[in-house]
Structure 1
Amino acid sequence: MPTPKPVPGAILSRMSFPKLGGGELSIGGTSENWTLFIVYRGKHCPRCKKYLNILNDMRDKWADAGFDICVVSADTEAKAKADQVEFGWGFDLGYGLTEEQMGTLGLYVTEPLSDAETNRRFAEPGVFVIRPDGSQLLLAISNGPSARPDLAELLDGMIFTKVNDRPPRGTV
């Protein structure tokens, strides 16, 4: 039975992930700031590295606009740590995204092509913008690595949305 797709404007139940360096990252529920939440495919994905390197270069702009950044994959702690060390990412990085959480988020799940890719199912990319009240404003879910929102365009749009208090779209 297919998982129901997430609904723009719906409150996202609180969800937590282990965070590199200790503690946990949480999305959903209420928070002080807006949240840019990105799910990436994992260490095996070169397109993810390119995308997250762009995000890393933009993280001050997102913070200045009032956004917390949360990035997560289904990778193990060791794989996530290897990426963080190699690329010097300064944003909070979580790991251990479960298949149940993937389903809750409406993400596409993929079987690895081989052990050389990875040794477990993983989520395809997802980019979410969550308001401080926990409601989902933007849901950009892809079934493959090549389709993701342009981060500069997304930031521009989210600043406009905040300033003009625009509602979630696609609710019909």
Structure 2
Amino acid sequence: MSTFKFEAGAPFPTISKPTLDGATRDLSKPLDGKDWQMLVVYRGRHCPLCTRFLNELAGYKPRLDEIGIDLVAVSGDSKEQLEEHISRLDVNFPLFYGLTLEEMKSLGLYISHPRSEQETDHPFAEPGLYIINEKGTLQVVDISNNPFVRPALENLVSGLEWIRKNDYPIRGTFSYQD
């Protein structure tokens, strides 16, 4: 079995999704005067680790704002599932829904089937985090095949602060054809 893997510095695809208020947005494009974008893909409302991660991430938004990084999150949940999940979330960034299987594949995400109907009613993406720079290219990527492996938020944000301050290059660009 083969899966897609982003090359470091590759152009990030256009993926537009809706919010609960009906707004639709290209998830790779920062807003509010920011020039970089952080896109977090989470498993969905059924995942208590995702709920905790998103709530913790909200505490880092002011630091991300200071370094020009906009923050959004998306899952494959339906509008109704996000409406239910929002009651357990305390976030200060936009949440989007409806990520399709094809879009999950285009992002190189691991995809899982639910263990039961009580978990959820659709295949879902495992965690992914993408930092898209001002050129629309992938600066940093972190994907996992299970909910227990995610970046430590303090390490991530302090690393992004350092990257932005020091104009640190995209890493992982070695090609086996070089």
Alignment TM-score, normalising by the size of structure 2? 0.91
Correspondence 1:49-64 to 2 at 5 A: 49-64=51-66
Is the aligned partner of 1:8 residue 2:16? no
For 1:155, give the aligned amino acid.
V
1:85 to partner: Cα distance: 2.8
Return the alpha-carbon distance in structure 2 between the equivalents of residues 4 and 87 of structure 1. Answer: 31
Whether the 8 Å CA contact 2:30–2:37 is kept in 1: the answer is no
1:51 to partner: Cα distance: 0.5
Equivalent in the alignment of 2:90: 88
Return the alpha-carbon distance in structure 1 between the equivalents of residues 29 and 44 of structure 2. Answer: 26
Equivalent in the alignment of 1:18: 18
Return the alpha-carbon distance in structure 2 between the equivalents of residues 165 and 77 of structure 1. Answer: 39
Return the alpha-carbon distance in structure 2 between the equivalents of residues 158 and 58 of structure 1. Answer: 12
Equivalent in the alignment of 1:126: 128
Return the alpha-carbon distance in structure 2 between the equivalents of residues 7 and 126 of structure 1. Answer: 15
Return the alpha-carbon distance in structure 2 between the equivalents of residues 85 and 70 of structure 1. Answer: 18
Alignment TM-score, normalising by the size of structure 1? 0.94
Equivalent in the alignment of 2:110: 108
> Hey, which bits of structure 1, 4+ residues long, moved more than 4 A?
29-32
**Which is further off, 6-15 or 93-102?**
6-15
CA displacement, residues 77-127 of structure 1 (integer Å, 9 cap, x when unaligned) = 111122223323221000000111111100000011000000100000001
Paired positions, count: 172
1:135 to partner: Cα distance: 0.5
Return the alpha-carbon distance in structure 1 between the equivalents of residues 27 and 59 of structure 2. Answer: 22
Return the alpha-carbon distance in structure 2 between the equivalents of residues 64 and 143 of structure 1. Answer: 31
Return the alpha-carbon distance in structure 2 between the equivalents of residues 72 and 128 of structure 1. Answer: 12
1:30 to partner: Cα distance: 7.8
Is the aligned partner of 1:73 residue 2:75? yes
1:3 to partner: Cα distance: 3.1
Whether the 8 Å CA contact 2:76–2:124 is kept in 1: the answer is yes
Return the alpha-carbon distance in structure 2 between the equivalents of residues 89 and 79 of structure 1. Answer: 16
When the two chains are superposed, the root-mean-square deviation of aligned CA atoms in Å is: 1.6
The equivalent position to 1:139 in structure 2, one of 111, 125, 141, is 141
Aligned residues with identical type, % of pairs: 37
Whether the 8 Å CA contact 1:11–1:29 is kept in 2: the answer is no
Is the aligned partner of 1:158 residue 2:172? no
Whether the 8 Å CA contact 1:30–1:134 is kept in 2: the answer is no
